[in-house]
Amino acid sequence: MLILRRWIVWLTRIHRCWGFGIQSPTDYAFVRSVVNEHGFYYAYDQLTESNWLRRKLGRLYLRLANWRQPDVIISDDYGQWWQAGCQKAQLITKFSSLTSNQPPLKIDLARITIEDDYESLFALCDNASVVVVEGIWHNWPQWHKMQDDPRTGTSFDLYYCGILFFDKQRYKHQYKVNF
């Protein structure tokens, strides 16, 4: 049943392969070189995962960290994939462990699940922040609420996860991509 569902999702988004319909050169380049990059990366052999979805998302996170080269990554999972993409990045595993008495943290890249409280994270995001929201297909209304938040900019719906950019200098657009 899961294989049938994967094929149905893929077929309904087939016209969105490889960035078709994306008019922005920046967004098109992001989809082509990060999201749908099918080339071989240096760490794929060392990082193995038996679950196909965790492997697919882990490889995306490696490419995303490699592309963004962040100073700070907030993620409670996929630590080895993030670190393989950017070894200089400081990995914070628990966002809830950040207390208010610490100096404000600049968030470059973060991963949360659709069930997590996003309000406190979005408050720390700036124009250069990127947030990955995993499991958006479990709660579409919550995902659309995050997309419509006035602090977010461009968003990419990859079905298994969503990617939010916070660059307010660019036109806000919501893309669906066949991932």
Question: What CATH number is given to the structural domain containing 10?
Answer: 3.40.50
Give the model's confidence band at 2: pLDDT under 50 very low, under 70 low, under 90 confident, else very high. low
Q: In this structure, how many other beta carbons lie within 10 angstroms of the beta carbon of residue 101?
A: 5
Q: How many domains does the chain have?
A: 1
DSSP code of residue 170: S
**What residues form DSSP beta bridges with 155?**
164, 174
Q: Is the pLDDT of residue 131 over 90?
A: yes
Kindly state the average pLDDT of the residues 77-90. 88
* Residue the block writes with tokens 């610490």: 102
In 3D, which of 94, 116, 104 has the Cα closest to residue 164?
A: 116
Question: What average pLDDT is seen over the chain?
Answer: 83
Confidence at residue 6, expressed as pLDDT on a 0 to 100 scale = 65
User: Which of 34-43, 47-56, 145-154 has the largest mean confidence?
Assistant: 145-154
Look up the domain containing 163 and give its range. 2-176
Q: Give the gyration radius of the chain's Cα atoms.
A: 16
Model-level pTM? 0.84
Contact assessment for residue 73 and residue 54, using Cβ atoms and an 8 Å cutoff: no
- The C-alpha atoms of residue 141 and residue 146 are separated, in whole angstroms, by 9
Q: Is the pLDDT of residue 133 over 90?
A: yes
